């Protein structure tokens, strides 16, 4: 950390459960908007996956085969 005041206040270490990434844009869309849209897309995909898992579980409970 370059700022000596912040260096005393902030501890930076590696944690295998965390990651750091950067966002670069060309200016048409702000980095914040890119991240918010990405989170929206990820959330939608998670909801779809959850629905598909629920359908498979419910099918198994009814004794149905999910193979096509």
8-22 pLDDT, tens digit each = 887 777 888 888 788
How does residue 67 score in pLDDT terms, banded at 50, 70 and 90? low
Tokens 């779809």 locate to 48
User: What's residue 60's pLDDT?
Assistant: 84
In 3D space, the residue among 16, 37, 17, 15 whose CA is nearest the CA of residue 25 turns out to be 37
2-57 pLDDT, tens digit each = 777 877 887 777 888 888 788 888 889 999 999 999 999 999 999 999 999 999 99
8 Å CB contact between 23 and 34: yes
């Amino acid at each position: 950390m370059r700022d000596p005041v912040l260096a005393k206040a902030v501890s930076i270490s590696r944690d295998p459960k965390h990651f750091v990434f950067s966002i670069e844009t060309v200016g048409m869309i702000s980095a914040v908007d890119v991240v918010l849209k990405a989170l929206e897309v990820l959330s939608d995909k998670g909801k779809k996956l959850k629905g598909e898992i629920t359908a498979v579980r419910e099918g198994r409970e009814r004794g149905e085969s999910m193979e096509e």
